Amino acid sequence: MSKIITIAGQKGGAGKSVTAINLATSLALLEKKTLLIDCDLQGCSTQGCGINALDYNCDIASFLSGRAKITDTVVKTQVNYLDMIPAGFNLFRVALKLAKNPENEKILRLFLRDVEDEYEYIIIDPPSSYGFLSITAMTAADWLVVCMSVHHNSVEDFHCLLRTVKYIRTTHNVPLKIAGCLFNKCETKEDIPSFLENQNLPDIKQMVYNTFIPEDDNIKRSIDLKIPVALHDIKSPAAAAYLSFAKEIHFFFNLRGVL
């Protein structure tokens, strides 16, 4: 059964979509069969994996609206072991209709039953908001990876996220847990403890991953090229960090006997 992980980060610029793309790619490079799901109508992960350049007839809106099976929406990427379910702006109307019924927040979780046995990891990229699509993406997961940046105030966002997790647990009876917090755009690891202290978040120190993602111009270049950073420069600091993070994630689940 898959480990289903939603990449959480409610403030734009925390690196949520970049993390989703590059974590999924790095897991695939470790030969872990991985599915990346784009739940954002802006299609950031879809574009970042170069999927828009490929021919496909169905996307996430197709199965959420009942016009296709979820298996019909899976697209092969240029990375072995990595598949994707793309998204586009046609998701807008589908989400508006589904949002009228709070029970539909569980719809993606129900659909994933048809594919979860096919993958070791399913990585979900939600929008940066607390709207229907974000709640749906988090409700579909068993685990959250929280993206944070030392360049953004985080205390209010983190407390809002905790309240959202509580809502999902109580409303939908989903055992959603936070796997850990990943820091992006760091100069050094020493930036993190002082940031947590200044943000009055010292209690989450034990939740912070050993890996952090450094400032690296290769990330911007890979975004411009619409490819994961490892495909742009496998030897870059960012590519090495994401590969290390994928290993840390895999070890996390192995340690807990989830594999």
**What share of the chain in percent tops pLDDT 70?**
96
* DSSP assignments along 89-147, one per residue: TTHHHHHHHHTTSGGGGGHHHHHGGGTGGG-SEEEEE--SSSSHHHHHHHHT-SEEEEE
**Residue 49, C-beta contacts closer than 8 angstroms, at least 6 positions apart:** 21, 25, 36, 77, 82, 84, 226, 227, 228
Q: Can you tell me the distance from the alpha carbon of 104 to that of 23, in angstroms, rounded to the nearest whole number?
A: 28
Q: Note the Cα 45 to chain centre separation in Å.
A: 9
pLDDT of residue 202: 84
Mean pLDDT in residue range 241-248: 97
- Asked which of 36-40, 82-86, 186-190, 249-253 is least confident by mean pLDDT, the reply is 186-190
pLDDT of residue 53: 57
pLDDT of residue 71: 95
Q: What pTM, to 2 d.p., does this model score?
A: 0.95
Specify the CATH number for the domain of residue 111. 3.40.50.300
Average pLDDT, the chain: 92
pLDDT at 259 over 50: no
Is the separation of the CB atoms in 86 and 46 below 8 Å?
yes
Q: How many domains does the chain have?
A: 1
Domain that includes residue 203, residue range: 3-150+159-255
Dump pLDDT digits (tens) for 136-194.
Answer: 999 999 999 999 988 877 788 888 999 999 999 999 999 999 999 999 988 888 889 98
Length of the chain: 259
Name the residue among 193, 181, 195, 183 with its Cα closest to residue 146: 181
